[in-house]
Structure 1
Amino acid sequence: MDERADHSDHPDRPAGSAAADGLDQRAELSEFLRTRRARLKPEDVGIASMGRHRRVPGLRREELAQLAGVSVAYYTRLEQGNGRNVSAEVLDAIGRALRLSDAEQAHLTRLAKPRQQRSRNRVPRRQTVRTGLRQLLDSMEGVPAYVAGARSEILAWNRMAAALFGDWGRLAPAERNWARLTFLDPGYRDLFRDWDSKASDMVSYLRLYAGQHPDDPELSALVGELSVKSDEFRRLWATHDVKEKGHGVKRMRHPLVGELTLSYETLHLPDDDEQYLCVYHAEPNSPASEALRLLASWGADAVPAEDAPLPE
């Protein structure tokens, strides 16, 4: 079989696209497995490479099937989007062969479950932030902090976050979204020194959420909008990379205080798995900590989240 015809089961559907009524689970499973297989080199798994004679990137289907201990026909059906009755043991074996991360393995499992066996995805509710959490944000002086939703909505923030990232309170509610700002607002391209990494991470978070809620119309609308308006988003969406938001370091170039390097921590809320608290901080006595002190005075004029217009 010629592996270059991998998309033959979905001829009318561009790779990585989102339908108006949600994501096509068969296409998602097919493209996810194909892109994971394509990123593995034969030498990565101890297979002698034939160099320029290989016609496809990454591993062949039969090589991956052998590594996973399944038949080529079985794996081919799975990669074509037919995950019916696939067992957890087989998915684990394929995940090990593909060297999937924990987030990728969970994503594969969700995509491969037959629709009749999946728990029904409830329609995501309108996002609200508890009063106590808003009070916690306001009490966090000196550190930028915000609460975001799973679709990258910016739901609540403190004055330091507005001073660092921009005065979100003056934006229309629909514009307060990290994905929209990252790809459609030139100011954020200037703010993040490692914008490519920021953009890649943002798409990976949305992909992970898409696997959990394939029928979310708001997510489909967001993906459709960004795919039309941003070539970079469309390219990254087609990679099918997934990632959990965790912790790390961001380098920024702020228009008022210049260069600063901040660490961030993501805290997932115990009573709402679709919201998380993100806090940025600087090393004590570092140039970045001095920059945050300078920003604190400017941030006094920012519109606090509780006074910002609410979504319709």
Structure 2
Amino acid sequence: MNTDLREFLRSRRARVTPEEVGLPNLPGTRRVPGLRREEVAQLAGVSVDYYVRLERGKNVNVSESVLDALARALLLNETERTYLYTVAKPTRRTRPMPPQRVRQGLRLALESMSDIPVMLLGRRMDVLATNLLARALYKDFDAAPPHERNIARYMFLDPAAREVYVDWADGARNAVAGLQFYAGQHPHDPELAKLVGELSVRDADFRRWWADHDVFRHGHGTKRLHHPVVGELTVFYESLIPRDDPDMMIAMHTVEPGSPSEQSMRLLASWAASAMGSNVDAEQSVDGVSELRGS
């Protein structure tokens, strides 16, 4: 049984209102929100029995034209459409995935970008490598135990993350949806199952949002952050995929030239160089940043 397809179709059907797809919605005629199964079948041009079997996760040989029709009927965005295609026709992995390794050249490239925070993320949003400014902006993942080097674990299990992210709920939901998208591509990843299990047990927000089956693919956007040393920053993020490993992502953070965020980023770089790049006492470094702010 294809449980990923079943849960995704159910969650998307419940999200679409009849008015959005041009269907009547008479008062008192619906016991649950969203579309009925027969309405989705009608909109997609398939039989009700076929759609019911599909939504129940039965092993139905579904064509791309039917998936296209379902995507239109359920008003899926591009990321959701990609996820639907993936979970409807899952690939069977016969060998375990080898561990991801960071080439020395790629690691040096990250460190050479000293003016902006850069992170290299891998499967399950694991943090594979960071440069100094990224470690200063978020957390020194390099110093954390290997099993803690993960963005989702940081977002939900590290109390500091809720202070750093001004819009924590938005960022945390995107992290959950990003894991959900990854799960569609790698449904048999045992490490993902362990991560989702742990976060579900330890955090009610994660457990609730995972059940929503939203999907998200990190590409670009903005974040509002509050750093304990330099204060507020608004950063742009851009995600790049190395050609030889599509399960890796380079996340770069930039700021608007001439903005207060640019000044804060420069102060962060100065603080990081002293407090994290040497044995200078961090408290003295904070005082130094305060003096820079006053100059």
- Give the structure-1-normalised TM-score: 0.86
Taking only the aligned residue pairs, the percentage that are identical comes to 51
Residue 24 of structure 2: SS of its match in structure 1?
coil
In structure 2, relative to structure 1, the CA distance for the partners of 1:52 and 1:189 (3 Å cut) is farther
Q: How many angstroms does 1:170 deviate by?
A: 2.3
Unaligned runs of 5+ in 1: 1-24, 305-312
- Which residue pairs with 1:39 in the alignment? 15
Of 166-175 and 119-128, more deviation after overlay is shown by: 119-128
How far 1:121 moved relative to its partner? 6.0
CA distance in 2, matches of 1:288, 1:92: 43
Deviation at 1:303, TM superposition (A): 6.7
Q: Deviations over 1:144-195 (max 9, x none)?
A: 0010012111110100001111222221111111000100111001100111
| Residue 78 of structure 2: aligned partner | 102
| Greater helix fraction, Structure 1 or Structure 2 | 2
Provide Cα deviations, 1:55-87, integer angstroms capped at 9, x if missing partner. Answer: 011011111110000111110000000142111
Name the stretch that deviates more: 123-132 or 151-160: 123-132
Say which of 220, 243, 266 aligns to 1:293: 266
Q: Residues 1-312 of structure 1: matches in 2 within 5 Å?
A: 26-113=2-89, 118-120=91-93, 122-300=95-273, 301-302=275-276
Give the number of aligned pairs. 277
Say which SS state the counterpart of residue 265 (structure 1) adopts. strand
RMSD: 1.5
**1:68–1:121: structure 2 CA closer, same or farther, 3 Å change rule?**
farther
Counterpart contact for 1:143–1:160, Cα < 8 Å: yes
> Deviation digits for residues 106-148 of structure 1, max 9, x if unmatched?
21122222x6xx3536422212111111111111011000100
Alpha-carbon shift at residue 53 of structure 1 (Å): 3.0
Distance in 1 of aligned mates of 2:59 and 2:21: 25
Instruction: Answer yes or no: is the 8 Å Cα contact 1:247–1:265 preserved in 2.
Output: yes
For residues 132 and 219 of structure 2, the distance between their equivalents in structure 1, rounded to whole angstroms, comes to 23
1:167 and 1:302 in contact (8 A); partners too: no
Contact persistence 1:150–1:206 (CA under 8 A): no
The answer as to whether partners of 1:121 and 1:213 remain within 8 angstroms in 2 is no
- Judge conservation of contact 1:167–1:303 (CA < 8 Å) in 2: no
Question: In structure 1, how many angstroms separate the alpha carbons of the residues matched to 2:10 and 2:200?
Answer: 21
Higher RCO (CA-CA < 8 Å; seq separation 6+): 1
> What secondary structure sits across from 1:127 in the alignment?
coil
Alignment partners' CA distance in 1, 2:114 and 2:209: 36
2:129–2:142 CA contact under 8 A, matched in 1: no
Tell me how far apart the structure 1 counterparts of residues 28 and 98 of structure 2 sit (CA, whole Å): 52
> Partner amino acid for 1:176?
R
* More displaced stretch, 71-80 vs 103-112: 103-112
CA deviation digits over 1:220-277, x for unaligned, max 9? 0000000000000000100111111100000011111111100000001111011010
Structure 2 residues without counterparts, runs of 5 or longer: 279-295
SS in structure 1 at match of 2:178: helix
CA distance in 1, matches of 2:28, 2:54: 28
Of 169-178 and 184-193, deviating more is 169-178
Deviating more after overlay: 45-54 vs 257-266: 45-54
Q: Deviations over 1:21-71 (max 9, x none)?
A: xxxx62211110000000000000111112343101101111111000011
Query: How far apart are the structure 2 equivalents of 1:216 and 1:132?
Result: 28
Corresponding letter in the other structure for 1:269: P
**TM-score, scaled to structure 2:** 0.90
Task: Report if aligned partners of 1:138, 1:159 keep a CA contact under 8 Å in 2.
Answer: yes
Partner SS, residue 143 of structure 1: coil
* Aligned counterparts of 2:227 and 2:129: Cα–Cα separation in 1: 21
* C-alpha distance in 2 between matches for 1:121 and 1:92: 29
